[in-house]
């Protein structure tokens, strides 16, 4: 829930700015707690709140009575009429490793020694509820409200996945957890809203807040709950199972919740762990951060809790938050801004891509001025308009995208988004029968671009085939797909290059390209939704092109990072590309991928035989600087491939969980960071010796 958190504040220069901020926060809070449609993203809200508090601290005489800080202090924000059994507290935030270590030092000081372990689990980005069970039956559901009192939302019982109406045992307990919409539920919710002619929700959290409190709707929006606390019932009904809650570790309480049939934070794909040290907690945090974007629900950090009840008691609880737990917050990945314009382009695979030009906004350290709008269907579903305030999400490597409009912020001046009538690439017809529109020429709409991509250094790596020559080959009709590259004649090349000598060189390079491993050939196909690293994962998993082609949706989903949606898309892509794949095979381009075991396994273990341990098994290796010695000729992609072939995991940034840094010339900040963290640093020469057997 919202509160005054540790995000850096907005500086309010004068009283006018202060009054504007007060107005903005009040309006946003009213909308947020009303129907969940606030015009401000969380980060902006928190910064403004802190700016207001800072201004009032410096100039108390200027503070106005209706300031939101006064409401928070008085506990008067969004309370309800149900008094919580024990206050529903907030959590202090930390924003990085140093911050967390400082928190750990403070905790150890209070305890007079290190805590007896930590429980770590994802921080679910939703809103808190207390669920009261009597004799195993769910009898009451209450929002967090202001932490002291909340609102009775028992009408929502039966609509919340993960919060069973009847527990596995007839106990009287209070379960606390976070209500969210999973990504699928969010999509479904907005589909339902559109069907009923109601404004779409701008993000899953607003949707959860709005839906939990709504009554009398003609439709039901399914919600999810992930529990994180178990308390004995306040009425003291003393059945055996509830006794001794205060003596159990947090991990044990989570297990009890699970055994009662309640879904907990441990049931998210990243799970929860009991760890001995903050170092281990940090390693977990890194894995969660790395998987954040691929998760089926929104998380905004990791919660670290002293696991042992004695440690919790000794550390104690402040007025706002416990001292034995802390939230490690990930950077905000969603902000609100305005759509200034929408432009259209045709992508490499022939699909039309609408792009929103935005009022620039900083998201997680990067200024975002454009975001994808996915498809015309999506524009219609979200009822987006030019001039709309929108939620924009930028997560990891994912291209920033518009999540939805903030309907509450509309002024009436917004204008419809015009849809194209002709392909923006070739001016030809558009196939608009599916949600994603496509040029009727498909991949052929911009064949040159597809071929240029295919011959690139990280794919087929055919030197000499520059963009000009590719355009000419395509224009001459010599290349109609990437497989045609392998049957090019000397005459065709001479016609395109004007040089016999160059043509011979290119022919030799094409011959060499026939030997490229599967991962590169697969990448060269330009399958929608797969870049270099996904292509490597797919190739390593299946080993041969034939196995990829034969894979069904279930088999594809065994590859890390492929969910049901991506699997379906890959199947469609593979079906479309089947003739090209067959042509490649006929042209002799059909090398396998050396199969590599999952990290930590030995090479032969893949085939069920005990084998030799791979030299980098279980290691996370980062390469930086210019490579020398045996690695001199390798691109960064090739070095990463080498690391993975030798059983390691290739990382891109240095952290505590990095095992080894390969530092070439001019290594810079990564080397300094590795040294400060005590991560082992080796030269490319030393590294080359370790992995000599795996060099290309
Ligand atoms: S423990 C004493 N664990 O985050 C507070 N909270 O910003 C106990 N939240 O109010 C909270 N995921 O609503 C805990 N794994 C998790 C959580 C979690 C989300 C929420 C919760 C809390 C808020 C604090």
- Rounded to the nearest angstrom, the distance between the alpha carbon of 579 and the centre of ligand 1 is 52
pLDDT (0 to 100) of residue 613: 67
pLDDT > 50? residue 599: no
pLDDT (0 to 100) of residue 607: 37
Cβ atoms within 10 Å of 479's Cβ, excluding its own: 26
- d(C-alpha 543, C-alpha 459), whole Å: 17
**Of all protein residues, whose CA lies closest to atom 2 belonging to ligand 1?**
89
- Rounded to the nearest angstrom, the distance between the alpha carbon of 91 and the centre of ligand 1 is 7
> Which pLDDT band, with edges at 50, 70 and 90, does 608 fall under?
very low
pLDDT > 60? residue 382: yes
| Contact call for residues 163 and 176 (beta carbons, < 8 A) | no
pLDDT > 50? residue 605: no
| Contact call for residues 223 and 181 (beta carbons, < 8 A) | yes
| Contact call for residues 526 and 348 (beta carbons, < 8 A) | yes
**High-pLDDT (> 90) share of the chain, %:** 59
With 0-12 / 13-18 / 19 or more C-beta atoms within 10 angstroms meaning exposed / middle / buried, residue 240 is: exposed
| Token code pair at residue 368 | 């975002």
State the DSSP code for 38: -
| Token code pair at residue 331 | 């950077």
- Rounded to the nearest angstrom, the distance between the alpha carbon of 88 and the centre of ligand 1 is 9
pLDDT (0 to 100) of residue 271: 96
C-alpha to C-alpha distances, 155 to 126, 530, 572, nearest whole angstrom:
19, 44, 43
Whether 683 is in the pocket of ligand 1, judged by its Cβ within 6 Å, is no
326 strand-pairing partners: 304
Whether 581 is in the pocket of ligand 1, judged by its Cβ within 6 Å, is no
Q: Nearest CA to 373 among 354, 357, 390?
A: 354
- d(C-alpha 276, C-alpha 340), whole Å: 50
pLDDT (0 to 100) of residue 486: 97
pLDDT > 90? residue 61: no
Residues 531-559 as b/e (b if ≥16 CB within 10 A, e otherwise) read ebbbbbbbbbbbbebebbeebeeeebbeb
pLDDT (0 to 100) of residue 281: 96
Provide DSSP, 69-83.
HHHHHTT-SS--SEE
| Lowest pLDDT segment from 258-267, 315-324, 374-383 | 374-383
Give the mean pLDDT of 49-65. 82
pLDDT (0 to 100) of residue 73: 45
The ligand 1 atom at the shortest distance from the C-alpha of residue 321 is 2
| Lowest pLDDT segment from 166-170, 187-191, 202-206 | 202-206
C-alpha to C-alpha distances, 431 to 323, 417, 437, 439, 567, nearest whole angstrom:
59, 19, 6, 6, 23
With the most atoms of ligand 1 within 8 angstroms of its CB, the residue from 205, 298, 327, 329 to mutate is 327
Reported as a single tens digit per residue, the pLDDT across 514-568 is 999 999 999 999 999 888 888 988 998 999 999 999 999 999 999 887 888 889 9
**Of all protein residues, whose CA lies closest to atom 15 belonging to ligand 1?**
123
Q: How far is CA 22 from the centre of its chain?
A: 33
The ligand 1 atom at the shortest distance from the C-alpha of residue 305 is 1
pLDDT (0 to 100) of residue 668: 79
| Contact call for residues 333 and 395 (beta carbons, < 8 A) | yes
Give the mean pLDDT of 447-473. 95
CB contact set of 21 (below 8 Å; sequence gap of 6+): 10, 12, 48, 51, 52, 55
**Of all protein residues, whose CA lies closest to atom 23 belonging to ligand 1?**
90
pLDDT > 80? residue 122: yes
- d(C-alpha 258, C-alpha 167), whole Å: 10
Reported as a single tens digit per residue, the pLDDT across 278-302 is 999 999 999 999 888 889 999 999 9
With the most atoms of ligand 1 within 8 angstroms of its CB, the residue from 89, 123, 320 to mutate is 123
Task: State the helix-helix crossing angle for 183-195 and 204-213, rounded to 10 degrees.
Answer: 60
Reported as a single tens digit per residue, the pLDDT across 636-655 is 888 988 998 888 888 888 88
Whether 90 is in the pocket of ligand 1, judged by its Cβ within 6 Å, is yes
- Rounded to the nearest angstrom, the distance between the alpha carbon of 296 and the centre of ligand 1 is 19
pLDDT (0 to 100) of residue 532: 85
| Contact call for residues 520 and 460 (beta carbons, < 8 A) | yes
| Contact call for residues 660 and 682 (beta carbons, < 8 A) | yes
Tell me which residue has tokens 């993975």: 644
- d(C-alpha 582, C-alpha 208), whole Å: 48
Active site residue 123: yes
C-alpha to C-alpha distances, 304 to 273, 310, 455, 467, 619, nearest whole angstrom:
10, 16, 48, 52, 25
pLDDT > 60? residue 2: no
Cβ atoms within 10 Å of 601's Cβ, excluding its own: 16
CB contact set of 626 (below 8 Å; sequence gap of 6+): 664, 665, 666
- Rounded to the nearest angstrom, the distance between the alpha carbon of 411 and the centre of ligand 1 is 36
| Token code pair at residue 128 | 């808190």
| Lowest pLDDT segment from 90-104, 473-487, 612-626 | 612-626
pLDDT (0 to 100) of residue 243: 58
pLDDT (0 to 100) of residue 183: 92
pLDDT > 60? residue 597: no
| Beta-sheet strands, E only, within 422-521 | 430-431, 438-439
Whether 326 is in the pocket of ligand 1, judged by its Cβ within 6 Å, is no
pLDDT (0 to 100) of residue 487: 97
| Contact call for residues 478 and 469 (beta carbons, < 8 A) | no
The ligand 1 atom at the shortest distance from the C-alpha of residue 322 is 2
Are β-strands 223-232 and 160-161 bridged in parallel, bridged antiparallel, or unpaired?
parallel
**What are the phi and psi torsion angles at 255 (to 5°)?**
-65, -40
Whether 3 is in the pocket of ligand 1, judged by its Cβ within 6 Å, is no
Reported as a single tens digit per residue, the pLDDT across 468-520 is 999 999 999 999 999 999 999 999 999 999 999 999 999 999 999 999 999 99
pLDDT (0 to 100) of residue 484: 97
User: pLDDT: is 594 or 97 the higher one?
Assistant: 97
**Structural domains of the chain, ranges and CATH numbers in brackets:** 2-70 (1.10.287), 82-329 (3.30.470.30), 334-421 (2.40.50.140), 444-586 (1.10.150.20), 605-694 (3.40.50.10190)
Whether 646 is in the pocket of ligand 1, judged by its Cβ within 6 Å, is no
With the most atoms of ligand 1 within 8 angstroms of its CB, the residue from 4, 45, 178, 257 to mutate is 178
- d(C-alpha 515, C-alpha 126), whole Å: 51
Torsion of CA 657, 662, 666, 671, to 10 degrees: 30
Whether 129 is in the pocket of ligand 1, judged by its Cβ within 6 Å, is no
Whether 270 is in the pocket of ligand 1, judged by its Cβ within 6 Å, is no
> Which pLDDT band, with edges at 50, 70 and 90, does 79 fall under?
low
- d(C-alpha 417, C-alpha 426), whole Å: 21
Reported as a single tens digit per residue, the pLDDT across 404-437 is 898 888 999 999 999 999 999 999 999 999 888 9
pLDDT > 90? residue 577: yes
Catalytic residue selected from 123, 329, 566, 670: 123
Whether 654 is in the pocket of ligand 1, judged by its Cβ within 6 Å, is no
**Of all protein residues, whose CA lies closest to atom 3 belonging to ligand 1?**
228
Cβ atoms within 10 Å of 582's Cβ, excluding its own: 13
User: pLDDT: is 73 or 384 the higher one?
Assistant: 384
pLDDT > 70? residue 378: yes
Whether 315 is in the pocket of ligand 1, judged by its Cβ within 6 Å, is no
- Rounded to the nearest angstrom, the distance between the alpha carbon of 431 and the centre of ligand 1 is 47
**What are the phi and psi torsion angles at 437 (to 5°)?**
-80, 150
C-alpha to C-alpha distances, 272 to 122, 252, 281, nearest whole angstrom:
7, 12, 10
- Rounded to the nearest angstrom, the distance between the alpha carbon of 392 and the centre of ligand 1 is 24
- Rounded to the nearest angstrom, the distance between the alpha carbon of 201 and the centre of ligand 1 is 23
Average confidence score pLDDT of the chain: 88
CB contact set of 304 (below 8 Å; sequence gap of 6+): 100, 118, 119, 120, 278, 281, 325, 326, 327, 328
**DSSP3 helix / strand / coil % (the chain, rounded to 5):** 40, 20, 40
- Rounded to the nearest angstrom, the distance between the alpha carbon of 178 and the centre of ligand 1 is 7
| Contact call for residues 483 and 580 (beta carbons, < 8 A) | yes
**High-pLDDT (> 70) share of the chain, %:** 92
- d(C-alpha 577, C-alpha 650), whole Å: 30
Show the DSSP H helices in 260-339 as ranges: 278-291, 309-315
Give the mean pLDDT of 161-186. 96
CB contact set of 292 (below 8 Å; sequence gap of 6+): 299, 330, 395, 396
């Amino acid at each position: 829930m919202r509160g005054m958190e540790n995000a850096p504040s907005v500086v309010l220069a004068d009283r006018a700015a202060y009054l504007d901020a007060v107005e903005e926060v009040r309006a946003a809070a009213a909308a947020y707690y009303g129907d969940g449609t606030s015009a401000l993203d969380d980060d902006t809200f928190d910064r403004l709140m802190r700016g207001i508090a800072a201004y009032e601290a410096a100039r108390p005489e200027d503070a106005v009575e209706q300031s939101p800080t006064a409401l928070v202090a008085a506990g008067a924000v969004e309370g309800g009429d149900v008094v919580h059994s024990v206050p529903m507290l907030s959590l202090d935030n930390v924003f990085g490793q140093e911050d967390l270590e400082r928190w750990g030092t403070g905790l150890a000081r209070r305890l007079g020694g290190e805590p007896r372990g930590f429980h770590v689990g994802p921080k679910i980005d939703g809103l808190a509820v207390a669920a009261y069970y009597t004799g195993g039956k769910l009898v009451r559901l209450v929002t967090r409200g202001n932490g002291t009192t909340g609102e009775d939302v028992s009408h929502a019982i039966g609509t919340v996945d993960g919060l069973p109406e009847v527990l596995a045992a007839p106990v009287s307990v209070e379960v606390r957890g976070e209500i969210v919409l999973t990504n699928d539920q969010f999509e479904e919710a907005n589909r339902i809203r559109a069907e009923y002619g109601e404004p779409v929700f701008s993000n899953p959290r607003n949707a959860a807040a709005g839906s939990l409190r709504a009554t009398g709707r003609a439709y039901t929006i399914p919600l999810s709950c992930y529990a994180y606390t178990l308390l004995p019932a306040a009425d003291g009904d003393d059945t055996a199972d509830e006794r001794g809650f205060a003596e159990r570790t947090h991990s044990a309480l989570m297990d009890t919740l699970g055994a009662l049939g309640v879904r907990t934070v441990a049931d998210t794909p990243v799970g929860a762990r009991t760890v001995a040290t903050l170092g281990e907690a940090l390693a977990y945090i890194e894995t969660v951060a790395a998987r954040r974007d691929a998760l089926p629900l929104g998380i905004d950090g990791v919660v670290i809790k002293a696991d042992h009840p004695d440690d919790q008691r000794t550390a104690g609880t402040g007025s706002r938050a416990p001292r034995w737990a802390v939230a490690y917050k990930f950077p905000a990945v969603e902000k609100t801004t305005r759509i200034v314009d929408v432009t259209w382009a045709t992508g490499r695979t022939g699909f039309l891509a609408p792009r929103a030009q935005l009022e620039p906004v900083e998201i997680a350290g990067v200024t975002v001025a454009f975001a994808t709008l996915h498809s015309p269907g999506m524009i219609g579903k979200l009822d987006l308009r030019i001039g709309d305030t929108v939620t924009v999400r930028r997560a990891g490597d994912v291209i920033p995208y518009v999540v939805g409009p903030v309907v509450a912020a509309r002024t009436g001046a917004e204008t419809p988004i015009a849809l194209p009538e002709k392909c923006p690439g070739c001016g030809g017809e558009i196939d608009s029968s599916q949600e994603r529109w496509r040029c009727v020429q498909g991949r052929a709409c911009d064949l040159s671009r597809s071929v240029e991509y295919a011959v690139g250094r990280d794919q087929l790596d055919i030197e000499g085939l520059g963009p000009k020559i590719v355009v000419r080959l395509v224009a001459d009709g010599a290349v109609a797909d990437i497989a045609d590259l392998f049957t090019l004649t000397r005459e065709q090349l001479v016609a395109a290059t004007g040089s016999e000598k160059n043509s011979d060189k290119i022919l030799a390079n094409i011959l060499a390209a026939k030997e490229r491993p599967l991962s590169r050939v697969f990448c060269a196909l330009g399958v929608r939704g797969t870049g270099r690293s996904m292509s490597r994962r797919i190739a390593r998993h299946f080993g041969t092109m034939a196995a990829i082609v034969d894979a069904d949706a279930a088999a594809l989903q065994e590859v890390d990072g492929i969910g049901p949606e991506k699997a379906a898309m890959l199947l469609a892509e593979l079906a479309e590309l089947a003739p090209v794949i067959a042509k490649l095979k006929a042209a002799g381009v059909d090398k396998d991928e050396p199969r590599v075991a999952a990290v930590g396994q030995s090479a032969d273990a893949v085939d069920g035989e005990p084998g030799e341990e791979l030299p980098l098994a279980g290691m996370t290796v980062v390469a930086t600087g210019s490579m020398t010695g045996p690695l001199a000729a390798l691109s960064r992609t090739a070095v990463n491939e080498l690391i993975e072939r030798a059983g390691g995991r290739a990382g891109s940034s240095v952290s505590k969980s990095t095992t080894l840094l390969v530092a070439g010339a001019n290594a810079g900040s990564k080397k300094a960071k590795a040294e400060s963290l005590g991560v082992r640093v080796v030269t490319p020469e030393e590294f080359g010796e370790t992995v000599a057997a795996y060099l290309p």
